[in-house]
């Protein structure tokens, strides 16, 4: 890439961050390499698996498809920002229900699930499944992930 | 009733918290100083001779580390069962993804760019691209006859018995390749100097990698080390292939004077180049009495092994040993062969040959029922094995399992009888959506085949630490299936200690003994037992030394270690006394025990789009004692999802010996909307030789879905599908051709 680097400034998990990057770098690489937030994963690099899901200015996006410049001035949440002192209710439900097996899809699932809960898109099992359909998991067959999401919505463990 | 403190309880996943916060570090997440990025230049031709390698002129090649076969310090081989597959092609090419040359550079983009600037001139030779071509020896590409391995299992006289049959049936069944699509692609970091080689990465079997590095570098065993890093799914796909990556990364590092080299495949490379499930062709000739009694079976089972032998003989063996299904058959012959073709070597994938042969027999039973005018459940009732019956190899079924009751439970859960009767009536209407219900009955042998476990001599150990903890030392890896948690439960139970006392050590060949590979549904059943025994031995040591009077295990360990310096107990595999096996005749106890199951599917098939939707899926299985219900159900659900994919959607499209659809966008694995709520029921009968009574379960759920689905397709549409995946295109051809 020959283009000039830009100073990218954004709020990541509530903290002001900046990095000198090529404007067309993938946001995924900026998150992983420049911000050292390796919780966000790369499973395909083509927008199919959702392992790289992050919440960018209130929208759920695949960070592997977003050029860095698009994140200029934005507010971003990654899996590292989901827990407070303790796990979030969704993280707790994942732990309790066995929603994570190998754990590689899990950060993306949690970010997508958090987005779905916050946008009230989990009224029932069908809606939960639809909401998660951009995130692939090869380990679980989704049953326990869906259960965790429904439990978190109802405030159950 | 549960008399145990930890066993049988849904103990939370030990590494769960790290996986939920993003703290768990996978290979590509590790920060390493001075890292180089490696990549692979491959053949694009399925078979040929390398005539020359050209590097684009004017490109700064001096910046790059370049490795060819000539740079290998020891043997140019990725050692496995035999020493056959080259680490880098030298002169000849046997498949279209064969690695030829390696490159490394500090900048990952530069190295990918450079890969495009290397041209390999290949003189093509005619390839063998199918089982049929391989059988015809057109041309011979391996040995004298393209056959990696032949297995023959015989009992009685199937030809004579066949002649007495009221129904004689012959049919051929086909299954396609399947890609694992673990969500974490393969990733390895190698560091190699003459003083020693260390490889870390995503892998199932550190000691396989260790063996391969030892042969490649011809260094002493204690100078090579392989350590697993958190692994993002494997399913067999990281059983033998990581040895290849490990060799490549280590070679680049060797040439770079010991600088660490990382190789991470992108999704396309991972899908195209790594192993897949063996495609198969199974011809079954059977004979039945008028009442449905199975009289004779003659099975010809063929696997496409790809370009090198790798694991094919063992996959073939498991396939052959499951080929007659869970049935009594006095006269049978199973003739199995693994064949060479010029595709990338096929390898381990959950089920390991059994899904292929069980698919054939379970479809065949439904076809036979149809021809005999019997309900498929009736036919099975006549023929299912009962305790004390002889199996194909003469093995006496010891497991006290009532397979008929198991089947009936699954059928009741899915309301089989009612749907069997009502769907044809519904389907006679004009609605384009047709309904069908079907099921399969099957088993899966736990642990290595035959004398395999005895030959492995697996060892696991426990170590008490100065601060009162217990480290579990085993080479068996956590890859999502829950090994860490189950090992913790088993060790804590036997020691009568709290869970928090137990720490499962990283599987690193420099630290842990060889408990064998993490495969074959053996981790809980076989290695778990070793850990249980080592823990019982540790408890006895503490008791005998007088440290455990008040029951405080941590305090006892601290005191013991303070007094004696170390506390370590080991256990080595001992085969159960009753297990007798003859590898030359294929007679005897093929597996010490089996898990048994019946899976049932309820389908909706849309005759406008030819899409098949699984409306309900029921699994009933007998797996010994369930050590952790949540983890066990998770294994079944995940395995069923993969099985449904193999049955309906996951099609590897081959073009000149390469996977053409090597992207997630055109090789489709199921999303949450494609699957029903998979229903899981366990029957628990403690197995005397498993830890806490457990048997292996990891592979079982892969075996049942495909035949259950296609049996339901036959019920819905009155056609006889004989191949998977049953994609909409295949189904359309079948329906419109019918
Ligand atoms: S890595 Fe971004 S969607 Fe797969
Ligand atoms: S838990 Fe492994 S891919 Fe989802």
Task: Examine the fold and report which residue of B545, B572, B599 is the final residue of a domain before the chain moves on.
Answer: B572
Do A114 and A71 share a structural domain? no
Q: Inter-chain contact B21–A40, Cβ cutoff 8 Å?
A: no
d(CA B532, CA B308): 38
Please identify among residues 40-59 of chain A the ones whose CB lies closer than 8 Å to any CB of chain B: 40-46, 48-49, 51
- Best residue for ligand 2 mutational test, from A51, A53, A94, A101 (most atoms within 8 Å of Cβ): A101
Q: Which ligand is nearest to the CA of B664?
A: 1
Q: State the nearest Cα–Cα gap between B48 and chain A, in angstroms.
A: 31
Q: Residue B549: its pLDDT value, please? A: 86
Contact B184 A104 (CB under 8 A): yes
* pLDDT of A1 higher than 60: no
A49 found inside a domain: yes
Parent domain of B52:
32-125+192-260
Of A45, A87, A102, the CB nearest to B232: A102
In a domain, B150, yes or no: no
Q: Does any CB of chain B come closer than 8 Å to the CB of residue A101?
A: yes
Examine residue B267 and state whether it is found in any structural domain, yes or no: no
Q: What is the DSSP string of B602-643?
A: EEEEETTT--EEEEEEEEEEE-BS-S-HHHHHHHHHHHHHHH
Flag if A141 and B24 touch (Cβ within 8 Å).
Answer: no
Report the CATH number at residue B249. 3.90.1170.50
Is the Cβ atom of A148 under 6 angstroms away from ligand 2?
A: no
Q: Are residues A33 and A75 in the same domain?
A: yes
Residue B482 shares a structural domain with residue B514:
yes
Contacting residues for B75 by C-beta, under 8 A, at least 6 apart = B83, B215, B216, B218
Give the phi and the psi of residue B612 in degrees, each rounded to 5: -110, 125
Residue A77 in this model has a pLDDT that exceeds 70: yes
Distance A95 CA to ligand 2 centre (A): 13
Residue A49, ligand 1, Cβ within 6 A: yes
Pair A50, A94 in one domain:
no
Inter-chain CB proximity B233 and A138 less than 8 Å: yes
- Residue B139 in any domain: the answer is no
Residues 6+ apart with CB under 8 A from B263: B37, B38, B39, B40, B186, B187, B188, B190, B245, B248, B249, B252
Q: At which of B520, B537, B572 does a domain end?
A: B572
- C-beta of A138 in contact with ligand 2 (< 6 A): yes
**What does chain A come to in residues?**
157
A109 shares its domain with A43: no
Which residue's CA is the nearest one to ligand 2's atom 4? A137
Q: Which residues 640-669 on chain B approach chain A with CB closer than 8 angstroms?
A: 640-642, 663-665, 669
Q: Supply the pLDDT for residue B3.
A: 83
Task: List the single residue in B with minimal CA-CA distance to A38.
Answer: B29
- Sort out which chain B residues have CB atoms less than 8 A from A80's CB and list them: 21-22
Atom of ligand 2 nearest to the CA of A101: 1
Q: What is the pLDDT of residues B135-165, one digit of tens each?
A: 999 899 999 999 999 999 999 999 999 999 9
Contact yes or no for B558/B468 (Cβ under 8 A)? yes
B637–A103 C-beta distance less than 8 A: no
Q: Is the CB of A56 under 6 A from ligand 1?
A: no
Residues A18, A45: one domain?
yes
Determine whether the shortest distance from the Cβ of A60 to ligand 1 is under 6 A.
no
Cross-chain Cβ contact A43/B638 below 8 Å: no
- Asked if A48 and A20 sit in the same domain, the reply is yes
Number of Cβ within a 10 Å radius of residue B451: 16
Same domain, yes or no: B326 and B417: yes
Neighbours of B124 (CB within 10 A): 12
Helix (H) or strand (E) holding A29, with range, is helix A27-29
- Distance in Å, CA B668 to ligand 1 centroid: 15
* Residue B100 resides in a domain: yes
Chain segment A46-61, per-residue pLDDT in tens: 999 999 999 999 999 9
The verdict on A122 and A144 lying in the same domain is yes
B16·A95 Cβ contact <8 A: yes
Instruction: Judge whether residue A2 has pLDDT over 70.
Output: no
Same domain, residue pair A68 and A10: yes
Q: Which residue lies with its CA nearest to atom 3 of ligand 2?
A: A137
Q: Do B21 and A87 touch (CB under 8 A)?
A: yes
Residue where one domain finishes, among candidates A81, A104, A130 = A81
Ligand 2 atom closest to Cα of residue A109: 4
Say whether both B100 and B211 belong to one domain. yes
* Chain B CB contacts of A135 below 8 Å: 671-672
Residue A104 lies in a domain: yes
Same domain for B360 and B213: no
**What value of ipTM does the predicted structure carry?**
0.98
Among B residues 594-623, those touching chain A with beta carbons less than 8 Å apart: none
Q: Are residues A19 and A50 in the same domain?
A: yes
What is the SS3 string spanning B183-219? CCCCEEEEEEECCEEEEEECCCCHHHHHHHHHHHHCC
Contact between B289 and B372 (Cβ < 8 Å): no
- For residue B271, being part of any structural domain is answered with no
Domain CATH code at residue A18: 3.10.20.30
Is residue A74 domain-shared with residue A10, that is, in the same domain?
Answer: yes
Would residue A1 count as lying in a domain?
no
Q: Is A100 in the pocket of ligand 2 (CB under 6 A)?
A: yes
Residue B29 DSSP class: G
Both B413 and B478 in one domain: the answer is no
Which among B325, B349, B640, B639 has a CA at the least distance from the CA of B519?
Answer: B349
Answer yes or no: do B638 and B530 share one domain: no
- Chosen domain end from A81, A103, A125: A81
What is the total count of domains within chain A?
2
Please indicate whether, in this complex, the C-beta atoms of B267 and A96 are within 8 angstroms of each other: no
- Same domain for A19 and A76, yes or no, is yes
| Same domain, yes or no: B245 and B298 | no
Domain-terminating residue out of A81, A111, A127: A81
B704 within a domain of the structure (yes/no): yes
Domain identity same for B525 and B651: no
Structural domain includes residue A95: yes
B199 and B111, same structural domain? yes
What's the CATH number where B542 sits? 3.30.365.10
In this complex, is the C-beta atom of A136 within 8 Å of any C-beta atom belonging to chain B? yes
Omega of the bond prior to A101 within 30 degrees of 0, cis?
A: no
Q: What is the CATH number of the domain that holds A93?
A: 1.10.150.120
Across the interface, which of A45, A80, A142 has its CB nearest the CB of B672? A142
Inter-chain contact A37–B630, Cβ cutoff 8 Å?
A: no
Q: Give the tens place of pLDDT for each residue, A16-25.
A: 999 999 999 9
Q: Residues A30, A60: one domain?
A: yes
Angle, nearest 10°, between helix axes A143-153 and B629-648? Answer: 120
Whole-angstrom distance, CA of residue B65 vs CA of residue B56: 15
pLDDT for residue A3 is more than 80: no
B627: its two tokens: 């050590």
Last residue of a domain, one of B228, B260, B292: B260
Interface contact B110, partner A, CB < 8 A: no
Binned average pLDDT, 10 residues per bin, chain B of 738 residues: 88 98 98 97 97 97 98 96 95 98 97 98 97 96 98 97 97 98 98 96 98 97 98 98 98 98 98 98 98 98 98 98 98 98 98 98 98 98 97 95 98 98 97 98 94 93 98 97 98 98 98 95 95 98 94 96 97 92 95 97 98 98 98 98 98 98 97 98 96 96 98 97 98 90
pLDDT in tens, A131-144: 999 999 999 999 99
Ligand 2, atom nearest to B232 Cα: 2
Q: Are residues B357 and B415 in the same domain?
A: yes
Task: Identify whether residues B589 and B690 lie together within a single domain.
Answer: yes
B143, part of any domain: no
Give the pLDDT band (50/70/90) at residue A12: very high
Does the beta carbon of A34 lie under 8 angstroms from any beta carbon of chain B? Answer: no
Q: Which of B16, B641, B671 sits opposite A100 (nearest CB)?
A: B16
Residue A125: pLDDT above 70? Answer: yes
* Strands, sheet with A53-56, edge to edge from the N-terminal-most edge strand: A15-21, A6-12, A75-77, A53-56, A59-62
Residue A60 placed within a domain: yes
Is B149 within a domain? no
Which of A46, A97, A103, A140 is the best substitution to test chain B (most B C-beta atoms within 10 A)?
A103
Q: Is A25 on the interface with B (CB under 8 A)?
A: no
Is B708 found in the same domain as B634? yes
**Rounded-to-integer distance, Cα B524 and Cα A16, Å:** 47
Does residue A29's CB lie within 6 angstroms of at least one atom of ligand 1? no
Domain limits at A25? 6-81
Total number of domains in chain B? 3
| Residue whose CA lies nearest to ligand 2 atom number 2 | A102
């Amino acid at each position: 890439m020959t283009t000039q680097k830009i100073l990218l400034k954004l709020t990541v998990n509530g903290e002001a961050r900046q990095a000198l990057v090529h404007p067309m770098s993938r946001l995924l690489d900026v998150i992983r390499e420049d911000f050292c937030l390796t919780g966000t994963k790369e499973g395909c690099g083509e927008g199919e698996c959702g392992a790289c899901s992050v919440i960018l200015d209130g929208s759920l996006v695949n960070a592997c498809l977003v050029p860095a410049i698009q994140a200029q001035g934005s507010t971003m949440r990654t899996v590292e920002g989901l827990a407070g002192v303790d796990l979030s209710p969704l993280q707790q439900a994942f732990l309790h229900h066995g929603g994570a097996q190998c754990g590689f899809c899990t950060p993306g699932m949690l970010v997508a699930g958090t987005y779905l809960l916050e946008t009230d898109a989990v009224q029932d099992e069908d809606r939960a499944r639809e909401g998660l359909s951009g995130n692939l998991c090869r380990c679980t067959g989704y049953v326990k992930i869906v259960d965790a999401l429904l439990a978190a919505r109802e405030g159950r463990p | 009733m549960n008399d145990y403190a930890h066993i049988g309880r849904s103990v939370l996943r030990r590494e769960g918290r790290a996986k939920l916060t993003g703290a768990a570090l996978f290979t590509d997440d590790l920060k390493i100083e001075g890292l180089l990025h490696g990549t692979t230049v491959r053949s694009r031709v399925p078979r040929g001779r390398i005539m020359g390698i050209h590097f684009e002129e004017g490109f700064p090649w001096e910046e790059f580390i370049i490795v060819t076969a000539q740079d290998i310090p020891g043997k140019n081989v990725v050692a496995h069962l035999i020493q056959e597959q080259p680490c880098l092609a030298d002169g000849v090419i046997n498949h279209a993804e064969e690695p030829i040359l390696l490159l490394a550079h500090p900048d990952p983009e530069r190295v990918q760019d450079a890969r495009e600037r290397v041209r390999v001139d290949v003189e093509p030779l005619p390839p063998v691209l199918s089982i049929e071509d391989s059988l015809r020896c057109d041309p011979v590409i391996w040995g004298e006859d393209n056959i990696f391995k032949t297995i023959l299992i015989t009992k009685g006289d199937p030809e004579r018995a066949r002649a007495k049959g009221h129904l004689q049936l012959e049919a051929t069944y086909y299954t396609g390749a399947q890609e694992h699509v673990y969500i974490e692609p393969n990733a390895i970091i190698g560091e190699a100097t003459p003083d020693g080689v260390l490889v870390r990465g995503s892998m199932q079997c550190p000691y396989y990698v260790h063996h391969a590095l030892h042969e490649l570098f011809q260094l002493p065993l204690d100078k090579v080390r392989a350590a697993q890093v958190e692994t993002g799914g494997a399913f067999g796909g990281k059983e033998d292939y990581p040895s290849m990556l490990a060799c490549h990364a280590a070679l680049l590092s060797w040439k770079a004077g010991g600088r660490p080299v990382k190789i991470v495949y992108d999704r396309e490379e991972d899908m195209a180049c790594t192993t897949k499930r063996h495609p198969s062709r199974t011809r079954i000739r059977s004979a039945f009495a008028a009442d449905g009694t199975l009289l004779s079976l003659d099975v010809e089972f063929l696997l496409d092994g790809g370009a090198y032998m790798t694991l094919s003989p063992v996959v073939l063996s498991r396939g052959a040993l499951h080929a007659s299904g869970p049935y009594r058959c006095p006269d049978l012959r199973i003739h199995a062969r693994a064949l060479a073709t010029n595709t990338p070597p096929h390898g381990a994938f959950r089920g390991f040959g059994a899904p292929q042969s069980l698919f054939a027999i379970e479809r065949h039973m439904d076809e036979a029922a149809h021809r005999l005018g019997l309900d498929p459940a009736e036919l099975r009732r006549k023929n299912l094995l009962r305790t004390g019956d002889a199996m194909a190899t003469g093995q006496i079924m010891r497991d006290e399992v009532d397979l008929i009751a198991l089947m009936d439970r699954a059928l009741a859960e899915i309301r089989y009888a009612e749907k069997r009767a009502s769907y044809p009536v519904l389907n006679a209407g004009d609605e384009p959506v047709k309904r069908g219900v079907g099921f399969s009955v099957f088993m899966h042998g736990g642990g290595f085949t035959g004398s395999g476990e005895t030959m492995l001599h697996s060892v696991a150990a426990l170590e008490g630490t100065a601060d009162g903890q217990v480290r579990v030392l085993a080479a068996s890896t956590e890859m999502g299936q829950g090994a860490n948690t189950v090992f913790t439960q088993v060790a804590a139970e036997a020691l009568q200690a709290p869970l928090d006392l137990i720490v499962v050590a990283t599987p690193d060949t420099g630290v842990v003994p060889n408990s064998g590979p993490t495969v074959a549904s053996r981790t809980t059943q076989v290695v778990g037992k070793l850990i249980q025994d080592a823990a019982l031995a540790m408890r006895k040591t503490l008791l005998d030394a007088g440290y455990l009077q008040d029951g405080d295990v941590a305090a006892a360990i601290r005191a013991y270690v303070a007094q004696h310096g170390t506390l370590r107990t080991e256990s080595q595999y001992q085969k159960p006394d009753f297990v007798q096996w003859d590898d030359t005749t294929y007679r005897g106890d093929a597996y010490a025990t089996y898990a048994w199951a019946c899976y049932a599917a309820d389908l909706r098939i849309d005759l406008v789009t030819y899409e098949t939707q699984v409306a309900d899926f029921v699994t009933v299985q007998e797996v010994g004692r369930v050590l952790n219900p949540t983890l066990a159900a998770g294994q079944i659900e995940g395995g069923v999802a993969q099985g449904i994919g193999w049955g309906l959607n996951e099609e590897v499209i081959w073009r000149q010996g390469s996977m053409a659809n090597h992207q997630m966008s055109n090789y489709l694995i199921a999303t949450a909307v494609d699957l029903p709520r998979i229903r899981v029921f366990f029957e628990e009968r403690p197995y005397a030789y498993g830890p806490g009574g457990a048997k292996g379960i990891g592979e079982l759920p892969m075996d049942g879905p495909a035949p259950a689905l296609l049996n339901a397709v036959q019920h819905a549409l009155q056609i006889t599908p004989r191949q998977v995946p049953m994609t909409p295109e295949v189904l359309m051809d079948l329906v419109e051709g019918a």
